[in-house]
């Protein structure tokens, strides 16, 4: 390979040239607040892009790069991977919610025809020497939820694996359990964990400092505050308070968790359904204590993750261990029941929220006390919206995790925020009623975010909002119509582990590579668009290679950070490669590189020394067969800026007051994500967020049997997910919001895309329709009817 690294040349230049330059960047929202600001940026940065309307490929709704492969079935997901001699693995899962594993007998399974290997998940001690010697005798991890994997079997067929798994004899010693999160808070409830690490009775007997205490099954409270909360309420003219309860939601991605692991002596190759090829590689290397160079992770296509697919997980390490043991590739994909039980969920919440305000709408105090369960894990906090959406003189939040004997939560699309916004945005709506203010006017008073201010104007000007009757419950007849709005917030995460390589070949073909995985949000398409913009070649002609840790490191896809983290590296690599390319071909064209320019797929001479030639013909004049440039993400141009994104969702509902059914008829979604790199793909993400949010608000619910501690609906029949009939018309309005932070000025959308605020928007629309506030999800007909029967303030939860 005849690679050239432009960075070396640039570094040499930097010894004599300035390292920074000043550029003018578009800032604000076109048509509303667009202006310019200067930024100091590295001299190696490409020229500033204008706003989208002045670009040819970026900012346009270019067809999805892999759309045809997906709809035609050519796309190869992890579950489609077939390797010669591949074995099929099946977990043995605990049938009870809390138990000690006394013994595991695998002899019958090992003898079963077709079985090639059995793996038992054993207690590991790590590097530490435990203070409690009794623990050394504990061979297996404690079972803390029904469905927890305890062993796995690998066999030549899926059926043989399943049948052999049933032959693994596990002897359990049941331990008292609790799956009701209210009962779990009682001091005499069965303990999910025996005691704090720094308390007597702890298995570990540690003693680490901690200021977040554990009391029984409660981890918390984690307290965050500013200002004097008591004074804030004293200063208030009006105080509103409510209790809001949200349920556990499972991710229910179409493709379940799973891997195909192929451990050869020199390399462990793993095809993984993951949001982070890098995270899977890092964990497998760390778990097995092998170098990163000996692990390769591939994710060609991904069938949904929503936050739950980071790291190797039990499927990853067990499949790898079985592959190592058997010398054959091992496929371990979870079934739907396992997916519901053991690989994550959105925690519940039980929030008491109190807000005080002056008569003019100025908020003086926000006080949130929240409990929630993340099963036998943590992560049930939900104070993000209360802490970050509105200006308040005083804030006090307390968040506690309640342990129960259920599968652990994992991150799920905007962790904590749909729950938090459900309470906050309904309380703000209630405050508006008490203050006799329009909900939008109240938010104008208390929300200083400049882009949401524009978004509120878009809402205010919309036909849907104008059609809202401000008098709650005013429509006639048993089916009542209402319109409500709610706001969302998310934050700017940047992954510096974001790199890309751009290659120009002598035949004129172009290629861009990064280990980043495309989880469906469309980063492949965006990468092609960036090269297209730089070289003037249509995006469909760009080869995009992603989802392989053999490529330059890519960001993990979570927290709405993929596009904003990676695209500047792609653009920088494309820009630098183009400059190298022009330098390379200039002598053959009888000129110098500063005379050359790439426009619309042609190389042109500024001085007119030669007639324009196509990029392809120009590439044939390259001195070598290939130019390759790798670039990595540089820090944001102005990293001190406090940047959040968000949006506003407006829901129109019809509430059948006789049947209790809520029908969401229309949704208006007004959102920002910096520079929309591909509006169609952004809209697609927002559509998905809205649909997922409606499903959460009205339908989905993990149900645990209190007697047996089992999930009673671990499928997609009894666990209700929204279908086509319940999906409303969704009108998405993108607000371009330039922030001057990188060479692409892209931001993220996945988290703020409707899923945060649609629940509260529905809640506010329901109140507008029937004059009764529903403070509980899912808003099933039974919940609606109960609220209608007990409409007195504070009694809606019945």
Partner 1 sequence: MSTANATQPCQCLRTKNPYGATPQNAETWLPGIHAASSYWCLRTMSPAGPDDHYVHLARCVPGRACYEEQEK
Residues between 275 and 294 that touch partner 1 (CB under 8 A): 276, 278-279, 282-283, 286-287
Decide if residue 636 touches partner 1 (CB under 8 A).
yes
Least distance from partner 1 to the Cβ atom of residue 101, Å = 12
How many chain residues touch partner 1 (CB under 8 A)?
Answer: 103
- What tokens were used for 690? 């809205």
In angstroms, the CA 666 to CA 651 distance is 6
Least distance from partner 1 to the Cβ atom of residue 173, Å = 15
**CB nearer to partner 1: pick between 23 and 739:** 739
Decide if residue 179 touches partner 1 (CB under 8 A).
no
> At which residue do the structure tokens 């067990």 appear?
318
In 3D, which of 381, 375, 390, 370 has the Cα closest to residue 415?
A: 381
Among 403, 422, 465, 581, binds partner 1 (CB under 8 A): 403
In 3D, which of 316, 248, 312, 314 has the Cα closest to residue 280?
A: 312
* Piece of 54-62, 571-579, 593-601, 635-643 that binds partner 1 (CB under 8 A): 635-643
- What tokens were used for 406? 């259920």
Decide if residue 55 touches partner 1 (CB under 8 A).
no
Q: Between β-strands 149-155 and 510-514, what pairing exists: parallel, antiparallel or unpaired?
A: unpaired
Decide if residue 492 touches partner 1 (CB under 8 A).
yes
Least distance from partner 1 to the Cβ atom of residue 398, Å = 10
Least distance from partner 1 to the Cβ atom of residue 492, Å = 6
Least distance from partner 1 to the Cβ atom of residue 683, Å = 25
Decide if residue 197 touches partner 1 (CB under 8 A).
yes
Least distance from partner 1 to the Cβ atom of residue 344, Å = 7
In 325-362, which ranges are E strands? 330-333, 345-346, 349-357
Encoded one letter per residue, x for contact with partner 1 by CB under 8 A and - for no contact, window 553-572 reads --xx-xx-x---x-------
* Backbone dihedral region for residue 513 (phi beyond 0: left; psi -120 to 50: alpha; all else: beta): beta
Least distance from partner 1 to the Cβ atom of residue 174, Å = 17
Decide if residue 350 touches partner 1 (CB under 8 A).
no
Decide if residue 20 touches partner 1 (CB under 8 A).
no
**CB nearer to partner 1: pick between 222 and 614:** 222
Bridge partners of residue 346, in order along the sequence: 249
Question: Could you tell me if 455 and 793 are in contact, meaning their C-beta atoms sit under 8 angstroms apart?
Answer: no
Evaluate the CA torsion angle 285, 286, 287, 290 in order and state its sign: positive
Least distance from partner 1 to the Cβ atom of residue 536, Å = 32
**CB nearer to partner 1: pick between 29 and 192:** 192
Residues 124-143 that bind partner 1 (CB under 8 A): 124-132, 135, 138, 141-142
Least distance from partner 1 to the Cβ atom of residue 189, Å = 16
Encoded one letter per residue, x for contact with partner 1 by CB under 8 A and - for no contact, window 406-445 reads --xxxx---xxx--x-------------------------
Q: How many other CB atoms are found less than 10 A from the CB of residue 665?
A: 14
In angstroms, the CA 484 to CA 468 distance is 8
Among 170, 184, 196, 784, binds partner 1 (CB under 8 A): 196
Residues 215-234 that bind partner 1 (CB under 8 A): 219-220, 222-225
Residues 656-695 that bind partner 1 (CB under 8 A): none
Evaluate the CA torsion angle 279, 284, 289, 291 in order and state its sign: negative
User: Residue 243 — φ and ψ, nearest 5°?
Assistant: -110, 130
DSSP 501-528: EEEEETTS-EEEEES----SS-HHHHHH
Q: Between β-strands 87-93 and 330-333, what pairing exists: parallel, antiparallel or unpaired?
A: parallel
Residues 497-556 that bind partner 1 (CB under 8 A): 497-498, 555-556
* Piece of 19-27, 49-57, 372-380, 769-777 that binds partner 1 (CB under 8 A): 372-380
**CB nearer to partner 1: pick between 47 and 126:** 126
Question: Could you tell me if 692 and 669 are in contact, meaning their C-beta atoms sit under 8 angstroms apart?
Answer: no
In angstroms, the CA 695 to CA 725 distance is 12
- What tokens were used for 209? 């400092």
Bridge partners of residue 91, in order along the sequence: 152
* Piece of 376-384, 654-662, 708-716, 786-794 that binds partner 1 (CB under 8 A): 376-384
């Amino acid at each position: 390979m005849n690679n050239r690294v432009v960075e070396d040349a640039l570094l040499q230049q930097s010894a004599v040239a300035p390292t920074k330059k000043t550029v003018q960047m578009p800032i604000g929202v076109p048509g509303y607040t667009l202006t310019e600001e200067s930024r100091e940026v590295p001299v190696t940065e490409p020229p500033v892009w204008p706003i989208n309307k002045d670009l040819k490929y970026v900012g346009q709704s270019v067809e999805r790069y892999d759309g045809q492969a997906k709809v035609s079935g050519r796309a190869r997901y992890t579950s489609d991977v077939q390797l010669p001699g591949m074995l099929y693995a099946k977990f043995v899962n605990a049938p009870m919610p809390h138990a000690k594993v006394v013994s595991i007998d695998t002899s019958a399974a090992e003898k079963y025809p077709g079985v090639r290997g059995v793996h038992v998940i054993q207690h590991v001690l790590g590097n530490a020497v435990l203070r409690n010697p009794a623990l050394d005798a504990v061979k297996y991890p404690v079972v803390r939820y029904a469905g927890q994997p305890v062993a796995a079997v690998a066999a030549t067929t899926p059926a043989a694996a399943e049948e052999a798994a049933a032959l693994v004899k596990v002897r359990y010693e049941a331990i008292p359990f609790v799956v009701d999160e209210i009962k779990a808070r009682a001091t005499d409830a069965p303990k999910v964990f025996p005691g704090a690490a720094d308390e007597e009775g702890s298995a570990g007997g540690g003693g680490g400092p901690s200021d977040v205490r554990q009391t029984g099954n409660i981890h918390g409270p984690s307290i965050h505050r500013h200002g004097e909360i008591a004074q804030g309420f004293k200063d208030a003219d009006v105080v509103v308070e409510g209790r809001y309860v949200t349920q556990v939601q499972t991710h229910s991605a179409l493709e379940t968790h799973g891997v195909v692991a192929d451990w050869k002596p020199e390399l462990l190759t793993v095809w993984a359904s993951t949001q982070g090829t890098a995270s899977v590689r890092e964990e497998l290397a760390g778990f097995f204590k092998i170098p990163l160079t000996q692990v390769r992770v591939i994710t060609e296509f991904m069938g949904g993750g929503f936050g739950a697919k980071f790291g190797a997980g039990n499927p990853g390490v067990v499949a790898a261990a079985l592959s190592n043991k058997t010398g054959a590739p091992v496929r371990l994909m979870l079934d739907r029941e396992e997916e519901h039980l053991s690989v994550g969920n959105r925690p519940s919440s039980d929030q008491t929220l109190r807000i005080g305000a002056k008569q003019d709408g100025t908020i003086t105090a926000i006080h949130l006390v929240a409990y929630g369960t993340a099963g036998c894990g943590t992560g049930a906090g939900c104070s993000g919206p209360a802490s970050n959406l509105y200006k308040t003189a005083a804030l006090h939040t307390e968040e506690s995790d309640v342990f129960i004997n259920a599968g652990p939560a994992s991150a799920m699309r905007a962790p904590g925020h749909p729950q938090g916004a459900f309470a906050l945005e309904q309380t703000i709506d209630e405050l508006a009623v008490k203050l006799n203010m329009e909900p939008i006017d109240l938010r104008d008073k208390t929300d200083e975010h400049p882009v949401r201010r524009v978004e509120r104007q878009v809402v205010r000007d919309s036909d849907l909002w104008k059609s809202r009757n401000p008098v709650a419950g005013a429509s006639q007849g048993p089916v009542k119509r209402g319109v409500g709005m709610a706001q969302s917030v998310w934050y700017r995460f940047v992954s510096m582990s974001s790199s890309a390589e751009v290659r120009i070949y002598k035949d004129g073909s172009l290629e861009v590579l990064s280990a980043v995985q495309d989880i469906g949000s469309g980063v492949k398409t965006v990468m092609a668009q960036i090269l297209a913009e730089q070289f003037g070649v249509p995006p469909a002609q760009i080869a995009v290679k992603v989802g392989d840790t053999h490529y330059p490191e890519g960001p993990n896809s979570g927290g709405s950070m993929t596009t904003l983290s990676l695209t500047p590296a792609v653009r920088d690599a494309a820009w630098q490669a183009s400059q190298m390319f022009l330098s390379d071909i200039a002598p053959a064209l009888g000129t110098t590189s500063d005379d050359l320019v790439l426009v619309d797929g042609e190389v042109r001479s500024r001085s007119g020394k030669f007639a324009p030639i196509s990029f392809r013909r120009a590439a044939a004049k390259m001195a070598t067969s290939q130019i390759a440039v790798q670039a990595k993400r540089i820090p944001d141009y102005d990293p001190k800026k406090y940047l959040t994104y968000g949006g506003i969702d407006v829901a129109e509902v019809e509430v059948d007051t006789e049947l209790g059914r809520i029908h969401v008829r229309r949704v208006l979604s007004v959102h920002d994500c910096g520079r929309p790199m591909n509006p169609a793909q952004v809209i697609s993400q927002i559509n998905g967020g809205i649909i997922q949010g409606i499903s959460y608000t009205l339908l989905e619910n993990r149900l645990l049997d209190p007697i047996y501690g089992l999930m009673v609906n671990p499928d997609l029949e009894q666990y209700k997910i929204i279908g086509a009939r319940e999906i409303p018309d969704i009108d998405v309005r993108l607000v371009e919001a330039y922030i001057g932070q990188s060479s692409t000025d892209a931001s993220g959308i996945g988290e703020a895309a409707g899923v945060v605020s649609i629940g509260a928007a529905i809640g506010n629309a329901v109140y507008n329709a029937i004059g009764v506030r529903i403070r509980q999800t899912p808003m099933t007909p039974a919940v609606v009817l109960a609220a209608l029967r007990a409409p007195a303030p504070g009694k809606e939860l019945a």
